[in-house]
Each structure stands twice: as structure tokens, then as C-alpha cells.
Amino acid sequence: MVTVAGVHVDGDHWIGGERSPSPRTFDDVSPIDEQVIAQIARGGAHEADAAVQAATKAFPAWARTHRDERARILHAIADQVEKRLDRLAIVETVDNGALLRSHLHGVMPRVAHNFRFFADWLLNLGRDDFETRGHRNHVSWDPAGVCALITPWNAPLMLATWKIAPALAAGNTVVLKPAEWSPLTASLLAGITVEAGLPDGVFNVVQGYGEEAGAALVAHPGVHRIGFTGSVPTARRIAQAAAGNLTPLSLELGGKSPLIVFADADTELALDLAVRQYDNAGQVCLAGVRLLVEESIAAEFTERLVDEVAKLRQGDPRDAATDVGPQIHREHLARIDGFVQRAKQAGATALIGGEPGGGLHYRPTLFTGVAADSEIVNEEVFGPVLTLQTFRGEDQAVELANSTRFGLAATLVTGSPERAKRVAGRLVAGTVWVNCFFVRDLRAPFGGARQSGIGREGGDWSFDFYCDVKNTVFAPGGWNG
């Protein structure tokens, strides 16, 4: 047990309703000052197996629990999150370096909303029966079993609960492997589930590295669903491991999303949306990091954008005046700088930024003069690095937008509703925002095309994945049950 920002946090695993240590630990380092804030249990195959066994044992009773009771408990979890919102926010800020004001006003309230939404959706889940030659068809959603969920570090608790909430609502049990760079709020969530009355073993947390604890989980024959958010290379390894057991996968992967600005766009809106792509120090998979600007307005737009980016304030994420916090880890900072320096060597021009900014900060960077086939245009940097290319007309805009192997999202800024419909219909993306950004409704499908993912989650799509969807056909005979 350690104290982080005045909050007591346990670094052990949570398995079968109990804290469980490991012989080995690893350091959890705060990106704010690179100081060790906790020793975290380093799990592996043994802990993964213990957690799967605990989840397997708990599954039958939880699966039989009436949906009203499951929904009640999920709402109770949301209640506990809201009671602890300030503590969850400060711990996650210290742990992953994201802005405290974002955690307080956006991220942590969304955690509670995730649980409430899927609790309520569960209560209304169902479709009308339909008839086939006098026979009645009845569709139902049966719990699948044990779900292994592996989640990222950029918005740890919110992104984890996008998966945890529907998995639990569906009647499954869960083993969560949080990212080793930001493990603390997952541990706090375990304590919250106890307060809310979730039975032992229904929710488990195994801490550790992906190649140890994560690899053991996804290859485990007792796992019935795998949900993963992260990088394409890791997803390939997970898919290979899951193939041996034919375990269904939901993969939410990276992006290299375009932000397309047409000459008829509201310039102030377009500039605001472009600057927002530096949120969370650029560590957002959905960010529109490839700015595509119509040639006729590109010079003025670029000049004004550089002026706006220069106003962003870097600093301590706990300070309300800070706009851009640190990168998550020294290793990640070096990765970002590697992309930037190689882009410079390839002939790209950094109009602003292009270097570290002290500590784990990286200066917000904007590149022009980038080749369409260059690394900086085609590979996910996952940092505060944007590129700007120009286009002439819709066809070239669409061609550039669809030119990478990714297809997670796209943002389109135009004053023409007709153009918006035409262009949006041609973009390869799981989500397209028109004159807006980052509007996320859990009723809508979320996921990526191409190498940005497999599957969709949200609303019925989540339950379709986390359940075995069954059709029962009743012969004619007057049954009305």
C-alpha cells in the first residue's frame, strides 16, 4: 500500500476478491517528475491463471444473476466512482501525466457514465420476436464467459471501463490487465467494485508487463473473449495467441487520422479543431494528426495555426493553466523524438517545435514539406506532432485522406452540407466528424477500418461481442412465453 497524492493505493493484484502479491515488482514512475510513486506486483503466467480460475468459478452465479440486479450493481459502481471522482482524477494525473482539469471535468465523469449507460442498455436489450412459417424466432444474448481485457495508458480508467462495463453488464466475468505505465486507477477500481457489492471473482486485476501477464492471459484456454486497445504490432501478437483457442477478439488499434479543411470552412472553427489535436500531449489515437488543407487557403491557415500553437502552455498537468502536459514515459519521449529527427533528415520542415521541451515534455510540432510516402505521414507517432499537406479539390483530398493503412477516424471542416455528405461517404474511417471533433456517444458503433481495428463496440455492438447471441425457434403450438 502506498500513498499517491494523499490517496492510498494498493499495488498488488486483485484476484478472487483478495489482494495478491507477487515475488517480483516493477516501478511505477510519474511522468510529472520521473519519480517512482509505487511498487507494482509483476504478474505472469501463474497470476494470469489464478485470475482466470477465479473468474471461471464466479461466472455461473454472475451469469444467472437477473439483469435488474446486474444493472443495479453497475449503477452502484458509478455512484462510488462519482464519490471518489477527485481522488481518481489526481491519482491518474500523477500516474499518466494527463491534465487534471481534463480528468476532473471529462474523463472521470465519463467513467461513471460508462457504467450507467451499459446498465441501462442491458435493461432494454432485446428485439421483437419474428415469425417463420408459423414458427416463432426469439433472439437472446447469453453471457460468453471469462473476458480478458488489456487496456492502454493514455486514458487508463475511461478506456478500461468502455470494455469492463459492457462485459459485466452482459453477465461475464473479467480479468483486466492494465498498462504497466499507468496501473493505479485499475487498482482503485477493484476497491470500488467491492463497495458496490460486486461478487468476488467477477472482476479481477492482474498487473504486469504485456509480454508476461498479458501474453499468458490472451493464450489462456479458459478465456472466452479478448478485448484489446493498443498498437498494431501488439494486436498481431495477441491475434496469433488467440488463434490457438479460436478466441473471439475486439481490437481497437492505432490511427493516423486526417483533418480535412476546405476553403469554404469556418476558419476559426478549423483552427480551433486543429489546435485540439495536441490534446493529451498528442497521445490520442483518434487525433487528426494529418492536416489536409485546400491549397487556396493553406498559406494563411498555416501562418495562423503556428501562431495559435505557440500560445499553448506546457507545464505541470496539475496546474489549471497548463495546456500540454508531459509524455507518459522517457521511452515514449525518445520514440517521438526519433520520428521527428528522421522527418527532418528526410527534408520535412518543422514550422514550430521539433524538439524536447524539458523533462518529459515534447514541444508541439507542425511539419510541412512532407512527402506523401514518408514515415512521418504514414506511421503513428502518438505524440504532439502534426503534418500539413495541401490539396486541390475533393478527389485529391479523399485520395490523401485514404492513403495510409489506418482508418480509425477522420475530421472534415466545410461550409457545404452537400460536400460534407459526399466526402464523408468516401472516407475510410470508423468515425467521421463534420465540423466537430471527439463527440462520442455510446449508442454509436466505435472501431476502426483497415489496420485500425477489428469489430465495433457501443450499444448493441458491445453486447453482440461480449455475448453468445442465440436464436431459439419455437414450433407452432400456441406458446406465448
For residues 266 and 247, membership in a common domain is answered with no
For residues 276 and 137, membership in a common domain is answered with no
Percent of the chain, pLDDT > 90? 99
For residues 307 and 223, membership in a common domain is answered with no
pLDDT in tens, 114-156: 999 999 999 999 999 999 999 999 999 999 999 999 999 999 9
Give the pLDDT score at 205.
98
Q: Residue 195 pLDDT > 70, yes or no?
A: yes
Give the pLDDT score at 480.
58
In a domain, residue 99? The reply is yes
**Is there a contact between 410 and 290 (Cβ–Cβ < 8 Å)?**
no
Sign of CA dihedral 389, 392, 396, 398: positive
**Is there a contact between 315 and 284 (Cβ–Cβ < 8 Å)?**
no
For residues 292 and 430, membership in a common domain is answered with yes
Q: Residue 330 pLDDT > 90, yes or no?
A: yes
Number of domains in the chain: 2
In a domain, residue 446? The reply is no
In a domain, residue 480? The reply is no
Percent of the chain, pLDDT > 70? 99
In a domain, residue 481? The reply is no
pLDDT in tens, 213-259: 999 999 999 999 999 999 999 999 999 999 999 999 999 999 999 99
Give the pLDDT score at 477.
81
Q: If you average pLDDT over residues 92-121, what whole number do you get? A: 98
Average pLDDT, the chain: 97
**Phi and psi at residue 478, in whole multiples of 5°?**
85, 5
What is the domain-level CATH number for residue 110? 3.40.605.10
In a domain, residue 190? The reply is yes
What is the domain-level CATH number for residue 354? 3.40.309.10
Kind and range of the H or E run holding 333: helix 330-345
For residues 61 and 192, membership in a common domain is answered with yes
| Domain hosting residue 48, numbered range | 2-253+452-472
Confidence tier at 481 by pLDDT (50, 70, 90): low
- The residues assigned a catalytic role are 252, 285
For residues 394 and 457, membership in a common domain is answered with no
For residues 249 and 262, membership in a common domain is answered with no
In a domain, residue 441? The reply is no
**Is there a contact between 357 and 367 (Cβ–Cβ < 8 Å)?**
no
For residues 322 and 216, membership in a common domain is answered with no
For residues 393 and 410, membership in a common domain is answered with yes
Confidence tier at 187 by pLDDT (50, 70, 90): very high
**What number of other Cβ atoms are within 10 A of residue 443's Cβ?**
10
Sign of CA dihedral 107, 109, 112, 114: negative
For residues 193 and 282, membership in a common domain is answered with no
Strands (E), 271-425: 290-294, 349-352, 365-368, 385-391, 406-407, 409-413
pLDDT in tens, 50-91: 999 999 999 999 999 999 999 999 999 999 999 999 999 999
For residues 223 and 303, membership in a common domain is answered with no
Give the pLDDT score at 197.
98
In a domain, residue 131? The reply is yes
In a domain, residue 212? The reply is yes
Confidence tier at 411 by pLDDT (50, 70, 90): very high
Number of H helices, E strands in the chain: 16, 24
pLDDT in tens, 374-398: 999 999 999 999 999 999 999 999 9
pLDDT in tens, 459-478: 999 999 999 999 999 999 86
For residues 133 and 82, membership in a common domain is answered with yes
